Amino acid sequence: MPNHMINRRALLRAGILTGGLLTGVASASTAVFARTAQPANGTAPDQRPATPDQAWATLREGNRRWVDGTATHPHQDIDRRREVAQKQDPFAVVFSCIDSRVSPELIFDTGLGDLFVVRTAAQTIDPLVTGAAEYGPAELGTPLVVVLGHQRCGAVTAAAESLHEHKKLPGELDTIASALRSAYKRSGGDIDKMIRINTIDVVKQLKKDKLFVPRIAKGELKVIGAYYSIDTGVVTRLV
Ligand SMILES: [Zn+2]
The DSSP result for 86-98, as a single string, is S----SEEEEE--
Do 37 and 228 touch, CB atoms closer than 8 A? no
For ligand 1, the distance from its centroid to the CA atom of residue 77, given in whole angstroms, is 29
Residue 104, phi then psi, degrees to nearest 5:
-55, -45
pLDDT, one tens digit per residue, over 39-56 is 333 334 468 999 999 999
For ligand 1, the distance from its centroid to the CA atom of residue 74, given in whole angstroms, is 26
Q: What local confidence, expressed as pLDDT, does residue 47 receive?
A: 84
For ligand 1, the distance from its centroid to the CA atom of residue 155, given in whole angstroms, is 5
Question: What average pLDDT does the structure give for the chain?
Answer: 87
Do 185 and 143 touch, CB atoms closer than 8 A? no
Rounded CA separation 226/146 (Å) = 7
> What angle do the packed helices 191-207 and 127-135 form, to 10 degrees?
60
Do 64 and 41 touch, CB atoms closer than 8 A? no
For ligand 1, the distance from its centroid to the CA atom of residue 150, given in whole angstroms, is 6
For ligand 1, the distance from its centroid to the CA atom of residue 129, given in whole angstroms, is 16
For ligand 1, the distance from its centroid to the CA atom of residue 149, given in whole angstroms, is 7
> How high is the mean pLDDT in each 10-residue block of the chain (239 residues)?
50 50 38 37 64 98 98 98 97 98 98 98 98 98 98 98 98 98 97 98 98 98 98 98
As beta bridge partners, residue 148 has 96, 226
Do 51 and 32 touch, CB atoms closer than 8 A? no
Most distant pair of Cα atoms in the chain: their distance: 59
For ligand 1, the distance from its centroid to the CA atom of residue 143, given in whole angstroms, is 25
For ligand 1, the distance from its centroid to the CA atom of residue 152, given in whole angstroms, is 7
For ligand 1, the distance from its centroid to the CA atom of residue 102, given in whole angstroms, is 8
Q: What local confidence, expressed as pLDDT, does residue 39 receive?
A: 39
H or E segment and range at residue 163: helix 154-165
> What angle do the packed helices 191-207 and 154-165 form, to 10 degrees?
110
By residue count, the chain amounts to: 239
Do 64 and 233 touch, CB atoms closer than 8 A? no
For ligand 1, the distance from its centroid to the CA atom of residue 235, given in whole angstroms, is 14
For ligand 1, the distance from its centroid to the CA atom of residue 229, given in whole angstroms, is 11
Residue 227 CB neighbour total at 10 angstroms: 20
Residue 44's nearest CA partner among 139, 110, 117 is 110
Residue 149, phi then psi, degrees to nearest 5:
-85, 170
For ligand 1, the distance from its centroid to the CA atom of residue 98, given in whole angstroms, is 6
Do 153 and 195 touch, CB atoms closer than 8 A? yes
Residue 105's nearest CA partner among 75, 125, 130, 141 is 75
For ligand 1, the distance from its centroid to the CA atom of residue 160, given in whole angstroms, is 13
For ligand 1, the distance from its centroid to the CA atom of residue 124, given in whole angstroms, is 10
Q: What local confidence, expressed as pLDDT, does residue 44 receive?
A: 44
For ligand 1, the distance from its centroid to the CA atom of residue 72, given in whole angstroms, is 26
Residue 170 CB neighbour total at 10 angstroms: 6
Query: Which residue type does 154 have?
Result: G
Rounded CA separation 167/81 (Å) = 47
For ligand 1, the distance from its centroid to the CA atom of residue 214, given in whole angstroms, is 31
